[in-house]
Amino acid sequence: MKKLLLILTVCWLVSPLKSQTIFTSFQPDDRGIGIGYRTNKGYISVSHGEYKLNKGYIEHSKIALGGVLKAEQSFVTIGVCLHSYNKQSPQEFQRIVTFPLSLELGAGSSLDRLSIGFKFDIIKNTSCIDIGIKF
């Protein structure tokens, strides 16, 4: 299984890319900002923000990696997110809130060189807005 995954990853990386997009992300839930790269086959993004609480704040970093299904001007994404939090996290949160892995689904559209997308984390119930430039 690991060999098959490695072969598929190498094929994906060396295949010709028809459209590429660099985008910035805004996460309203934790007031986070980030940057990402999307092709017609996959995407990767990194972001950093902080949740404001009554007792202080929790710093939050996220790396997302996923695939893209593309049709004409629109696209659908599905990806896995890896989260990290600062060490001063309050203990009153449920484990699901600070669990390091989650799944996000997204959709978007492109108009000429402008690309706009929306991603939603179905486990943590958080959202992300992406605005990018195609080249």
Full residue range of the structural domain in which residue 99 is found: 17-134
Task: Please identify every stretch of the chain with a pLDDT value under 70, giving residue numbers as ranges.
Answer: 1-18, 87-97
pLDDT in the model for residue 95:
59
Residue 54 maps to which CATH number? 2.40.128
Number of domains in the chain: 1
Report field, pTM of the whole predicted structure over 0.85 = no
pLDDT of residue 77: 96
Backbone angles phi, psi at 86, to 5 degrees: -70, 165
The verdict on residue 37 lying in a domain is yes
Burial of 37 (0-12, 13-18, 19+ CB in 10 A): middle
